[in-house]
Amino acid sequence: MGRKWNNIKDKKAEKDKNTSRIYAKFGTEIYVAAKKGEPDPESNSALKFVLERAKTYNVPKHVIDKAIEKAKGAGGEDFDELRYEGFGVGGTMVIVDALTNNVNRTASDVRAAFGKNGGNMGVSGSVAYMFDSTAVFGIEGKTADEVLELLLEADVDARDVFEEDENVIVYAEPDQFHAAQEAFKAAGITEFTVAELTMLPQTEVALTGDDAAKFEKMIDALEDLDDVQRVYHNADLGE
């Protein structure tokens, strides 16, 4: 289901080169999660989830500690969690998740990133119904059969388990994220190439040539916005 994970993984690897931007975005996400509940991942599942994602991006401990310490202080900034939906060239669909302390600024920036690159913002719900919220894990050093067996033994219901490149990719329901993670850890699997919740498209739109270049420029413009945390889309760029 959805586009192949290696496309997403390769894009992630490219974006990882801009570490200062990645770390700043994680700092905000960690701060918001810690501010919502206890600043302890053992009693704050949202914080625990963000920290697990941060590990796969090699976010340094000092960035994590700084964000958590900031959340412990009185007052602090208030952030709104926003989701924007829109369209790109060729009828492609895009979801943009943001954390912002200035809603008007973020809405304007996201709208401009769409509009300047052949796209347009839609209303809430205009494209999200074409995506499935999914827990995704990437595991090295195992076969798909081995991973499926340990999930079955732990009563974790996986949507799909398959091998891609040198990874075993697991798709599961979002509410199975922590159960799957605990099953992996019980089996001695503590490192993941990816461990996160994502939005997988139900169908894809193939783009080539100028359309593909224009679409990638739009996605880059959205991802470069400070307030944007994650961008999902249904374009198949033939990578």
The ranges assigned to domains in the chain are 5-72, 80-128+203-236, 130-201
> CATH classification of 130-201, choosing from 3.40.50.10860, 3.40.50.170, 3.30.70.980, 3.40.190.10?
3.30.70.980
| CATH numeric code, 80-128+203-236 | 3.30.70.980
Tokens of 140: 């090295």
**Structure-block tokens of residue 11:** 């894009």
Please answer whether residues 95 and 233 qualify as being in contact, where contact means their C-beta atoms are separated by less than 8 angstroms: yes
Fold match between domain 5-72 and domain 130-201: no
Output DSSP code: residue 130. G
231 — alpha (psi -120 to 50), left (phi > 0) or beta? beta
Among residues 199, 201, 208, 235, which one has the least CA distance to residue 220? Answer: 235
pLDDT tens string for the chain (239 positions)? 444 555 555 555 455 556 788 889 999 999 999 988 888 888 888 888 899 888 888 888 999 999 999 888 766 788 899 999 999 999 999 999 999 999 999 999 999 999 999 999 999 999 999 999 999 999 998 999 999 999 999 999 899 999 888 889 999 999 999 899 999 999 999 888 888 889 999 999 999 999 999 999 999 999 999 999 999 999 998 75
pTM: 0.86
